[in-house]
Structures are given as C-alpha cells and as structure tokens.
Amino acid sequence: MPGSNQTESSAEPAANNVKTWWLSGLPGAGKTTLAQNLARHLREQSIAVCVLDGDEIRQGLSKDLGFSLTDREEQGRRTAEMARLLNLNGISAIVALVSPSMRGRALARGVIGHDKFVEAYISTPLHICQQRDPKGWYAKAKQNPALQLTGVSAPYEAPISAECVIDTSQTDLADAIVQLTSFLRK
C-alpha cells in the first residue's frame, strides 16, 4: 500500500533521532544548566525530550541510595533504564548525572543501546566547579570529608572516548548546544 510505505519511511528518520545524551562530570561542572538548555532547544524543534537530573532522581526513585560507588552505579543503572523506556516511546532523554565510573557509564550505554547513547563529558576543571559550588557541596565536603564528594574525597574517572567533550569554563552555552545537537544529524 503506497500510503503505509510512505508513513514508515517518514517515521524512520524521526526514530533515528531519538537519543539519550548522558552528561557526566564533576558537581558544579554545568550538567544541569546544559541539560535544561538543550531540552529547551530541542522542544523548540518539536522534539519530545525529558531531562533526568541526578539530584531530582535522588529525591524520589533513588532516595534509598547513598553515595558509595556501588550506590552511584545503581543510580546510573536506574536512570539508564528510565532513559531506555523514554527512547522506546519516541522521547529523547537528557541525563545530567555525575556518574563517576567508567564501568557505570558503560553499563548505561549497554542498557540504552550504543546507537542511541551520546556520552558528553562536561570537563570543567575542579577549581572552577569549586568556585561555582551552586548547591554548596564543596563547602559541605570541606567540613565533612566523609561526604564522599566526587572530585574531592571520591574519584571521578574521566571518559576516554566520549562522543562530546565540553568545558563550560571555555565554551559558551550556545556553542555547547550546537555541539550536543550535532548528534541528531548523524
């Protein structure tokens, strides 16, 4: 039937544009700001999108988790499962999550699927993140080293082969959004 072939072929490119951007980096690197602005840009293009912010997820779905590496990886796994479900339903996901381990990010890529997963390393230097300290985490970590803050008393394993690397202290917001949206055309 000519009409159904046309519908299938026009729906295919849209399905190929469903992505999960996994924004990883130190606290204060700019992940949430980038996620919110990327979502706004995509919505202006009539692309269905949902932001999955680590701090918000911790208030509900992951409120039973602490900040050990095991708990952080479980937080990432849960978030990846949500992103996968969104993608299956034609909704792109933007994940703003510290996700400090390479193993945890590899697990997320495996859950979501290699063809839909865009790893974006928000590589803003520690001293800039400490100056920004939008949520007061670095100040709290100074007073309580047991807090296990990533970049201070807990390690962050920088991605070796992220699809996108953005240092928000060097890249303005508009250029960062251009870099992130370039993956829709691929």
Active site residues: 99
**Comparing C-alpha atoms, which of 165, 164, 173, 141 is closest to residue 154?**
141
The set of residues, in sequence order, having a beta carbon less than 8 Å from that of 56 and lying 6+ positions away, is none
Q: How far is CA 84 from CA 10, 58, 74, 81, 136, in A?
A: 22, 18, 15, 5, 31
Total residues found in the chain within this entry? 186
